[in-house]
Amino acid sequence: MAFSAVRQQGFAAGVGQVASEVVFDRRHGLAAFLPREVSDGVDDPTFRIADAVQYQGVDPRLALRILEMLPMETRSNATFVDYGCGKARGLAVGILAGFRRLVGVEVSRELAALADRNLAVMRRRNPGVDVQIHVMDATRYQPPEGPLVAFLYNPFVGLTLERVVQRLEQHATHHPVWVVYINPRGRSAFLNRGFRERSIFGSSEALLLQSGPECENMETFGMRETLDKGR
């Protein structure tokens, strides 16, 4: 991972990103840095393992920057759902962004167990926050009633993504749905289901999308944001 970051961003920026992720994990009691294959500990026979993407911890600076673009009212009232939550770094960022109800959906029981342990410090420091981990195929997860913020760090592709997007589309017929999609390999799946892009980060490194009631009346955020890797 460190070599990949250096190769993609240059030495200074790559090393800076790796250092920031390590510092973030230590500060918040996480052990979320090392990648892991999702196939470890998958018991759900409905899950399409070919659609799974290897777990890798999301860049917390990027994730927090996108989430903080959402209105505070949304962050206070919506349920934050991290699809393919892995080791829970995304959930930790969601807590820091101000969400009070959070759900991690993870098909690997081993990753889900790590996520639950990783959240111990965050739960202790934020006693009013409700965080739950559901071990299941994301295609079978039914979001709770009310506004929703769906968080995806390219957790899966193919038919699995299509079915998850279909559920989110159904949810958006009655409730507002925001989608934070980082490394959006399946962007077209959302656009084909009526989701609208509200902001694009970098050269499509991440997207903020929306659907649901009053979506037509929402102003678009600054459509293209330049990412400052040095933040």
Q: What are the DSSP calls for 74-129, one per residue?
A: HHHHSEEEEET-TTSHHHHHHHHTT-SEEEEEESBHHHHHHHHHHTHHHHHH-TT-
- Give domain status of residue 28, yes or no: no
In this predicted structure, what is the pLDDT of residue 203? 76
Average pLDDT across the chain, whole number: 88
- Phi/psi for 197 (5° steps) reads -75, 125
In this predicted structure, what is the pLDDT of residue 43? 79
User: Domain with 117 in it: what CATH number?
Assistant: 3.40.50.150
- Give domain status of residue 7, yes or no: no
Ranges of residues in the chain with a pLDDT under 50 are 1-7, 10-12, 220, 222-223, 226-231
Write out the two tokens for 204. 């499509």
* Structural domain of 155: 36-225
pLDDT digits (tens, 9 = 90+) for 159-191: 999 999 999 999 999 999 999 999 999 999 999
CA distance 101 to 109: 21
- Give domain status of residue 199, yes or no: yes
In this predicted structure, what is the pLDDT of residue 198? 93
- By the 8 A CB rule, do 143 and 80 touch? no
